[in-house]
Homo-oligomer: A and B are copies of this chain.
Amino acid sequence: MNKAAKTDKNKDSTGRRRATSYDVAELAGVSQSAVSRVFQDGASASKAMRNRVMAAADKLGYRPNAIARGLITQRSNMVAVVISKITNLYYPEVLVQLTQRFSEHGVRVLLFALEHESDTGTVIEQMLQFRVDGILTAAIFTPEQLETVDNADIPVVFYNRTLQDQLVSSVRCDQEEGERWLVGELVNAGHKTFGIVEGPPDSVVGIERKMSALNELSKMGITDITTVSGDFGYETGRDCFTRLVEKRGSPPDAVIAANDAMAIGCIDEAREGFGLSVPDDISIVGFDGIGPASYAAYDLTTVRQPVQRMTQAAASMLIERIENPELSPEKRAFSGKLIRGGSARLRSKNG
């Protein structure tokens, strides 16, 4: 397109190939190794050398080839981040923050997005082919899949989930504790009948939350519990509320949704579909602390995940294990923050 491209000895554009360290070496009148050393951190190179090489490199628009470097150093400087549609939808900032954290350590993110959390199989092969230095996953692995990456000596950190009885590293929000708080607050405030809106069957997070809530409810002597299941989405939340009421015959005192989006759906349906007042007629709580949870129209009572600290921890755990593969696995659980919103009648608010 550019007319300069038609002239013969042009270095860039349609001219000849990208400049390599050999080109730079030749122009600077030094060896290729010298060029390589100038572009490394702890390598020895005299000031004079550095200047000559840099001048030549600038003139040629040279940039070290990370691919070639990866081949020889056996380090791709890339980590795989696996998310499923759901993960991402409700926590967009997780991904951005993770990427930024890795970036700070000179590590790039190769992204793998799954339609469903159980589609992991298809991407494992890819990650291995690209020789990622580590894997951070917000999707579950089967034991075989875990073994595959283990055999390849690739460290893995699980985000908000973990593998039963397996020695793996993970970072998660303490969901059991969170549900305990929520249930405790609700029961103490006098709620006796409960509805639970659980997540999709292939979501470990959803299952964990539901089980924790059920567990705590039973500990506190609550027996009137109705459960329906959704897919973590808003629409499903509305639908679930309807099904819940139908199943029970009447609305329960409180609804515990497995995540905020469904909780918000429940609120809307309770108000619009059943003319109920939240929280006067019914209390509704969620989990996550997503943005819309704090919108004035909902002011959701929920447990907010400490995203910042979690991503920070996940990134550094993975990087540590890349740099020192001998490190033993570690599980870190962070407490969430109970947000006492206006969507539930709690002791402290009306007692």
Contact = CB atoms under 8 A, between A and B. Distances in A.
Interface stretch (A82-90, A188-196, A218-226): A82-90
Interface string A55-69: 000000101111110
A161 interface: no
A78 interface: yes
Given A88-B92, A92-B89, A131-B67, A12 B295 contact: no
Contact of A129 (B65, B88, B113, B153): B65
Contact of A268 (B89, B111, B291, B295): B295
A13 interface: yes
A81 interface: yes
A298 B234 CA distance: 14
Contact of A130 (B67, B89, B95): B67
State the oligomeric state as a number of copies.
2
A234 B296 CA distance: 10
Given A66-B129, A129-B66, A167-B1, A96 B88 contact: yes
A260 to B, nearest CB: 11
A152 interface: yes
Given A67-B67, A71-B67, A96-B83, A271 B296 contact: yes
Contact of A13 (B66, B93, B153): B153
B113 A100 contact: yes
6 contacts: A63-B125, A66-B129, A67-B70, A88-B95, A89-B92, A99-B112
Given A13-B153, A95-B95, 15 more contacts: A12-B152, A14-B153, A18-B152, A61-B151, A61-B152, A64-B129, A65-B71, A71-B71, A89-B96, A99-B112, A108-B110, A108-B126, A268-B296, A272-B296, A291-B292
Closest 8 A-B residue pairs measured CB to CB? A297-B297, A268-B296, A99-B113, A92-B92, A12-B151, A66-B129, A96-B113, A109-B111
